[in-house]
Homo-oligomer: A and B are copies of this chain.
Amino acid sequence: MKTDEQKPAVVLLSGGLDSATAAAIARDEGFAVHGLTVDYGQRHRFEIEAARRMAAWLGVCRHWVVRVELDLFGGSALTTADEVPKGRPVAEIGRGIPVTYVPARNTVLLSLALACAEVVGAADIFIGANVVDYSGYPDCRPEFIAAFEQLANLATKAAVEGQTRFRIRAPLSGLSKAQIIRRGMDLGVDYSLTHSCYDPSPAGLSCGRCDSCLLRLKGFAEAGLTDPLPYEPCR
Q: What residue of chain B has the Cβ atom nearest to residue A98's Cβ?
A: B157
Partner of A103, one of B103, B141, B156: B156
Question: How far is A72 from B120 in the complex, measured between Cα atoms in Å?
Answer: 12
Distance A170 CA – B57 CA, assembled complex (angstroms): 45
Q: Which chain B residues lie closer than 8 Å to A104 at the CB level? A: 111-112, 114-115, 118, 152, 155-156
A69 and B72 form a contact (CB under 8 A): no
**Is B64's CB under 8 angstroms from A115's CB?**
no
Of residues A74, A108, A111, which shows the largest number of chain B Cβ atoms within 10 Å of its Cβ?
A111
Interface residues on A, range: 35 or more
Question: Contact partner of A67 among B69, B115, B152, B157, CB < 8 A?
Answer: B69
Assembly of this chain: how many copies? 2
* 10 pairs of A and B residues whose beta carbons are closest in the complex: A75-B119, A104-B115, A103-B118, A68-B68, A107-B111, A104-B114, A138-B160, A111-B111, A147-B151, A73-B119
User: What is the interface of chain A, defined by CB distance below 8 A to chain B?
Assistant: 64, 66-70, 72-75, 97, 101-108, 110-112, 114-116, 118-119, 138-139, 141, 143-144, 147-148, 150-152, 154-161
Interchain residue pairs with CB less than 8 A apart (19): A66-B69, A66-B70, A67-B68, A68-B68, A68-B69, A73-B115, A101-B157, A103-B114, A103-B116, A103-B157, A103-B158, A104-B111, A107-B151, A111-B111, A143-B154, A147-B150, A147-B151, A147-B155, A148-B151
Besides A73-B119, A147-B150, 6 new A-B residue pairs in contact (Cβ under 8 A), listed by A number: A64-B73, A97-B160, A103-B116, A103-B157, A107-B155, A147-B155
